[in-house]
Amino acid sequence: MIFMFFFVEDVYLSDVPGVEVSVWVENLEIPWSLVFLPDGRALVSERPGRIRIIENGKLLPEPYMKIDVKHIGEGGLMGLAVHPNFPKEPFIYAMHTYETKDGKIFNRVIRIRDKGKYGIFDKVIIDSIPGAKFHNGGRIKFGPDGMLYITTGDIFRGELAQNLKSLNGKILRLTPDGGIPKDNPFPNSPIYSYGHRNPQGLAWYPNTKDLFSSEHGPSGEYGWSGHDEINIIYKGRNYGWPRVIGKAGKKEYEDPFIFWKETTPPAGMTFYKENLFVATLASQALIRIKIKKLKNGYEILRIERWFAFDKTRGKFGRLRDVVEGPDGNLYILTSNRDGRGIPKPGDDKIYKITIKKID
């Protein structure tokens, strides 16, 4: 049994006591994903198709790698992940959109061999995930089990999310080499969970290793809007899209852990000292969700919207990802040059968030 508290009121904090913010990197073009390597380097993906390298807090002028992508709408270069045994296994993973010679759009995950200042293509991990201008998912992360998790969107064809023969509207799970794990819920299938609209965040609770995911709610489909979600992901479960929205209370569908009726679009997220931090797009906030682990589930104690003035205005604009660095600080990526934001001088940026005190 999971305890869900849907009506905790969000608290807006334009300035957060005990928290310092500084610009870490600037002049990026639609950064999407940030990963840190154990030797001190960091890599950031730019949606037009570049992976950039950061050394000692400095963005190097030459890209780590250029990838031929279909940069259209929300498509392009998206998630990055690092092999869990790096550098013994010197591989970086990237998810991107591409177009075939006959004009069809797909998404795939590729593996890149690290060469220090640059990377070279190694192999395709999974291919032929139908893509589109919108709703490509795009987040990839390795879980505590050493498996690669991949979020895919419904490409505005909601019925695909319920079709177990389709890779759309799913969370997929693969081995680091692209194989199908024997303990996946559906035989010979990479599908781990289904019934998703456009999931864009993955994070594991530190102690239980339970998987949490963020998901965009409807944008006018079926007369609905808002209802963006945070879900706890269970193997083989159906999360309902497009058959149910929000809390349905039907045993055949897994209800969301949290949903917001107002438009929030949550993107990348991470756990930090058992708090779930979620980057959001239209609401321009870094959401902090204070969670308490109970014997039979989780309790939501508090929801704060950091750096936000109200439901639609924040200090830094649209936020695409949040990750914890090896220094114990949080890093957030802005997405103000994605065609939906208002770029500020130096955008897009990565901000360093130093938390000196958190209750």
Catalytically annotated residues: 135
Taking the C-alpha atoms of residue 334 and residue 82, their distance in angstroms, rounded to an integer, is 21
Q: Which of 238, 333, 326 is nearest to 280 (CA)?
A: 333
Give the chain's largest Cα–Cα span. 55
Q: Which residues, in sequence order, are bridge partners of residue 351?
A: 23, 332
Tell me: cis bond preceding 348? Omega within 30 of 0 counts. Answer: yes
Do the beta carbons of residue 110 and residue 93 sit within 8 Å?
A: yes
N residues, the chain: 359
**At which residue do the structure tokens 């809007």 appear?**
225
The β-bridge relationship of strands 297-306 and 10-13 is parallel
Do the beta carbons of residue 76 and residue 97 sit within 8 Å?
A: yes
Do the beta carbons of residue 8 and residue 327 sit within 8 Å?
A: no
Return the sign of the alpha-carbon dihedral for residues 152, 156, 158, 163: negative
Do the beta carbons of residue 72 and residue 119 sit within 8 Å?
A: no
Taking the C-alpha atoms of residue 120 and residue 355, their distance in angstroms, rounded to an integer, is 36
Sheet holding 330-334, edge to edge: 19-25, 350-355, 330-334, 319-324
Do the beta carbons of residue 214 and residue 264 sit within 8 Å?
A: no
Tokens at 278, concatenated: 């979620």
